[in-house]
Amino acid sequence: MSAPICIGFIPLVDASALIIAVDKGFTAAEGLDVTLVREVSWSNVRDKLNIGLFDAAHLLAPVAIASSLGLGHVKVPIVAPFNLGINGNAITVSPALHSAIAAELEGDRYDPMATALALSRVVAKRRKSDAEPLTFGMTFPFSTHNYQLRFWMAAGGVDPDEDVRLVVLPPPYMVDSLANGQVDAFCVGAPWNSIAVDRGVGHILHFVSDILVCAAEKVLAIRQSWSEKNPEIVASLIRAAVRAADFIEQPQNRTEVARMLAHPERIGVDAEVILRTLDGRLKISPDGTIRESGRYLLVGREGASRPDPVQAAWLYAQMVRWGQTSVSPEALKTARAVFRPDLYDAALGMGGVAERGASGSIGAFAGPAFNPDDVAGYLASFTVQRRPR
């Protein structure tokens, strides 16, 4: 039996592969003694991973990259040998903002360009009437939520640093902040968008898969130094997580999975809400309107669990676009190297690689196709962006 392993997580559905790996005994079957520790904020998870209180963590993919680059905090090289989720976020707006966007909408309400242009008209009217800027909640400066909100807004001509306010809120606090009028909208992972709808305080405006067809969301993050000292433990963790992801993706297991995730020490919300998330069948408005998407959240299918360095390159490009760092070939190389498909492949053996393939391209709704070998050229096509301070 190996030494005890401590892994931190945030109560989100994209932590499910880790939670199920432990609670279904898949980690124990690999000879691992894993304790999961529930946290509230991403800064807590990052800091405890960095100083060694956690051996591994459920972590925002951009945080793993920022930590490895020394952005926004101390420099601690991180490896991500397993992708915990593709997509899974959504943009939820208050009833008032939902009505304002609907009044300005020209086109399909599920078309992110149409809603971004509508938002730009709402912003312009508010400015003209001297109203306070709209406030959008996101989970962390180095987060997919931040970049996805910015990408969507900017496509419609809204400058996310000048025209609106972006504020950081821990995922479990998003719904109360919307209900209390402290924010007008937020971008967060499941189940918190659905909780807002169920409470009647929000409408899901977009799934992130409307904005990006394939977006790496959370990773199993491990300090590079610990990974190098414990290669067998890392391989065992990967195998257990893959087994859990495959279990979750079997429709006949979803009810059991949702019940396990609903436990108060895990995600702690109603199992039915979690089941809707896993099935990609979400209630998007308090009136009961249902929207289905096979791409809402991918845990294991379509190669979702295998890390793709192209995804890391895209996230690095967003850091550059929004002034969090400068573009450099060395930094791009470091960012790409955080995602470790080689460790994933080695843990599973060559047979697993052929079956799983890669997670695929980004597929953004606006702008040129992403070229991971020419980040500067890609970013040059965007009008709205920030320069590093």
* Tokens representing residue 141 in the block: 């400066």
What does the pLDDT look like over 71-130, one tens digit per residue? 988 999 999 999 999 999 999 999 999 999 999 999 999 999 999 999 999 999 999 999
Q: Which residue has the tokens 């791409």?
A: 295
Rounded Cα distance, 139 and 187, in Å: 8
In which region does residue 163 sit, left (phi positive, over 0), alpha (psi from -120 to 50) or beta (all else)?
Answer: alpha
Question: What ranges do the domains of the chain cover?
Answer: 4-84+216-268+299-358
Binned at pLDDT 50, 70 and 90, residue 389 comes out as: low
How far apart are the C-alpha atoms of 329 and 336, rounded to whole Å?
11
Per-residue pLDDT tens for 164-190?
A: 999 999 998 999 999 999 999 999 999
Q: 165-168 and 135-138: which strand pairing?
A: parallel
Q: Which CATH class is domain 4-84+216-268+299-358?
A: alpha beta
Note the pTM of the prediction, 2 decimals. 0.95
Among the listed residues 340, 334, 253, the one whose alpha carbon sits nearest the alpha carbon of residue 305: 340
Instruction: Please report the beta strands in the chain, taking only residues with DSSP state E, as ranges in sequence order.
Output: 4-9, 33-38, 56-60, 78-87, 89-93, 135-138, 165-168, 185-189, 203-207, 216-223, 281-283, 290-292, 297-298
